[in-house]
Amino acid sequence: MDRKQEAFLLELISDFKIEGAEHHKVIINGLLKLEKYPPEEMMKPLIETVFREVHSLKGAARAVNQTDIERLCQTIEGVFHLAKQGKLTFTTPMFDILYKAVDILGVMLLEVEQKEKRIGANILLQLMKRIEAMQRVEETPPEVEEVVSSGSSDVVQNPTPEPVPEQIPSPPLSDQATNNAEVNEITDSPVSGDTVRISTSKLGILLREAEEFISVKASLGFYIREIQKIHNPELVPLVKDMDRFHRSMSRMVDDLLLDIKTTLLYPFSSLLGIVPKIVRDLGKSHNKEVNLSISGSEIEIDRRILEEIKDPLIHLIRNSIDHGIERPENRKQAGKSPAGILDITVRQVSGREVELHIHDDGAGVDKEKVIQSAIKTGVITSDIASKMTDTEVFSMIFRSGVSTSPFITDISGRGLGMAIVAEKVSKLGGSIELISSPDKGTTFIITLPVTLSTFRGILVKVSNQLFIIPTTAVERAVRVNLQQIKSVESKYIITQNNESFALVRLGDVLGIAQVKIKKEDGGLKPVLILTIAQKRIAFMVDEVIGEHEGMVKNLGPQLIHVRNIAGATVLGDGRVIPILNIQELMESATHISYTINPGESGIEQENPDTNHKRILVAEDSITLRSLLRNIIESSGYQVKTAVDGMEAFQFLKNESFDLVVSDVEMPRMNGFDLTARIRSDKTLEETPVILVTALDSADDRQRGMESGANAYIIKGSFEQSNLIETIHRLL
């Protein structure tokens, strides 16, 4: 147990060393730039940067009990705090002291794990005294500052009398740093330990490559399952071995991926660094005083999540300042201090989850306003509203169109922002909740995964096409009896557990042809209830196939954004499946309206003539196969396809078809042979056959007729109506 704790501490310390080195570098570079006395508009952000870096280093040092570093940072921070307020002007001797201090910081950072320290308490104390003395500089007459102008002197006369202790051991940087003429940018980290700098783009490539293994893993699993279907006793031991190998490989892939993901972790500080300025600017423009506090910024998370969470965070901060924190006069009336509190806290909940709290001590969310806004936008009825709990009321904030603000300002009040925040968070695999009490304030709690997980989705079939719906968007999957579907004006409604949902057919939303269902299906159709930003719509599909885990890929540079489609993923067998974009899908779904004939309750309209007719299409070209399928299906027939004559004949033996459409030139068995086989088979001989071919000679035509085909269509003069007419004629 002790050893474990010790190891944990060591790990923390080594993390601190790396982080410290980063801050140290930025501080030095900041000092270097500052010493060139840039114009004021550049000076300010530089001072801000150095201040923030010193502050972060202080926080990090405190977290690992490095009190000396913490204290030194504290004093340096003090100097920059004054400089920020414009109460202190830097002079060359001051830079000298600051460089010394930063050098010493560098040495201390190098020595964090060592028991024997080169920097004694005495040196530190003297140094800190001198830095503190700098902060009293405002009280000294300004002339004194100008007296000291021979900057390169190592011995500083002013503003403090103590000389720089000569016994300070200098790290290699020291000599250069004090002589600014030789120093431009310091790019090397003073920590020479066992770390290597790698650009994040290289890490990104490593991650992508490791992620590719997921599909390898999935493919292997797929082939093993396929082989298992072959019942051959000789295969049994082999399959067992393969299965074992697959399992150990899966474990290795998972481990590799996890390890690479940990290298992509990045502290929240990189994101939260921008917050103070935003808060200050917003406070100013709203005439509100805001005291900001940030904690836990050293906690790490996948940098891709950090990038994605930036906008939602800014939105919530704006929301707190705009809607939450009251004006100073109103605060005084409510018995609060004039300055509002905005507290941003990052907390590590577990190894896999992080919480981001954004708390303000403002007026809180007005429940009544939320309810009224929700009723106005039609999200709820006043009947339902009276029965809602606080949590339920507050959760409506995340719905599109609900807002508490009577004014639409440039930053909030449209009621859209929160819906977008909620969506973004859920896209990252996280969740958001709101706690609020009148006059006490509001807290948003965002729970985020530490690393971006691979994508999980539900595989569904619509019109013979497969799609994937992100699992996070699926509230539940149910089977609905067509008789239970009600129609209200131009919408269909289903009721599940006393809740009503608008029902649409996924195929209609995507604009693809629907395959009509047969009565024999028992009238039960699979329906997925999808939810996003508290909005719920039921989507009817033809079939729910199962769950799939994989990587999200984009559709390539040509298809930048296709409506309703978020990207694609690759199945174990190599098939590409489009991933649906739930937000857009929900929007598209609200525009669907059905023409409902009076007296009709079911959603499906059936065509009694063609519904039961089944047509087999044999064609080796994928393009032609799907073209023929689409043409024939859109006329209301059911279609099954075969890749060649041999497969077609097998299908014909096992299932019943009303007509065959076949290509002539196919591998294994061509169209002529297929026709001949059909004609010579007792059970099949009556089946009409249409041959579709590129061959256009009298001989071929003759051969086609001889083999027993009922019709012969030339590809070169093919027309859609032609084929359908021929099918109609033969059936």
Partner 1 sequence: MKNEDQILRQRAIKVAGIPKETTSKEETLRVVEFMLIPEKYCIDSSYVTEVLPLKEITTIPGTPQFVMGVMNARGKIISIVNLKSFLNLKESGITELNKIIVVKHGKMEFGIVADAINGTHELPLSGLSPPPVTIHGIGAEYIKGVTTEGLILLEISAILSSESIIVNQK
- Would you tell me which residues interact with partner 1 (CB under 8 A)? 212, 215, 465, 510-512, 553-565, 568, 570, 574-578, 621-624, 626-627, 692, 694, 714-719
Count CB-CB contacts under 10 A for residue 653.
11
Structure tokens at 725: 């007419």
Which residue reads 């051969």 in tokens? Answer: 703
CB of 229 vs partner 1, minimal distance in Å: 21
Quick one: 50 or 510, whose CB is closer to partner 1? 510
Q: With respect to partner 1, which residue has the nearer C-beta, 575 or 729? A: 575
CB of 582 to partner 1, least distance (A): 15
What is d(CA 344, CA 275) in angstroms, rounded to the nearest whole number? 9
Residue closer to partner 1 by CB (options 85, 717) is 717
Q: How far is the CB of 527 from partner 1 (least distance, A)?
A: 20
Q: Taking the complex as a whole, how short is the minimal distance between the CB of residue 432 and partner 1, in angstroms?
A: 25
In the bound state with partner 1, the residue whose beta carbon lies nearer, of 363 and 570, is 570
Distances, alpha carbon 709 to alpha carbons 509, 661, 700, 702, 713, in Å: 40, 10, 12, 10, 11
Please identify, using beta-carbon distances, which residue of 28 and 570 lies nearer to partner 1. Answer: 570
Separation between Cα atoms, residue 632 and residue 577, nearest integer Å? 23
Closer residue to partner 1, CB minimum distance, 50 or 664: 664
Q: How far is the CB of 558 from partner 1 (least distance, A)?
A: 4
Residue pointed to by tokens 């859109």: 634
**Straight-line distance from the first to the last Cα atom of the chain, in angstroms, rounded to the nearest whole number:** 81
Burial (CB < 10 A; 0-12, 13-18, 19+), residue 513, is middle
- In the complex, the smallest distance separating the C-beta of residue 548 from partner 1, rounded to whole angstroms, is 14
Please answer whether residues 530 and 502 qualify as being in contact, where contact means their C-beta atoms are separated by less than 8 angstroms: no
Minimum Å gap between C-beta 630 and partner 1 is 9
C-alpha–C-alpha distance, residues 351 and 401, integer Å: 36
Residue 43 tokens read as 């000076």
Q: How far is CA 576 from CA 453, 466, 567, 682, in A?
A: 20, 9, 10, 41
Q: Which is nearer to partner 1, 125 or 562 (CB)?
A: 562
Nearer to partner 1, 378 or 546 (CB): 546
Q: Least CB distance from residue 577 to partner 1, whole Å? A: 7
The burial class, CB within 10 Å (0-12 / 13-18 / 19+), for 511 is exposed
413 in the Ramachandran plot: left (φ > 0), alpha (ψ -120 to 50) or beta? left
Rg over CA atoms, the chain: 36
Q: Could you tell me the smallest distance in angstroms from the CB atom of residue 377 to partner 1?
A: 25
Query: Measured from the CB atom, is 215 or 404 closer to partner 1?
Result: 215
Smallest distance, Å, CB 729 to partner 1?
Answer: 20
**Contact present, 63 and 69 (Cβ < 8 Å):** no
Query: Minimal distance in Å, beta carbon 385 to partner 1?
Result: 36
Q: Which one, 161 or 716, has the nearer CB to partner 1?
A: 716
DSSP 486-554: EEETTEEEEEETTEEEEEEEHHHHHT-PPPPPPGGGTTEEEEEEEEETTEEEEEE-SEEEEEEEE--B-
Identify which of residues 238 and 694 has a Cβ nearer to partner 1 in the complex: 694
SS3 683: coil
Strands (DSSP E) contained in 309-464 are 340-348, 353-360, 431-437, 441-449, 455-462
Plot region of 372 (φ>0 → left; ψ -120 to 50 → alpha; else → beta):
alpha
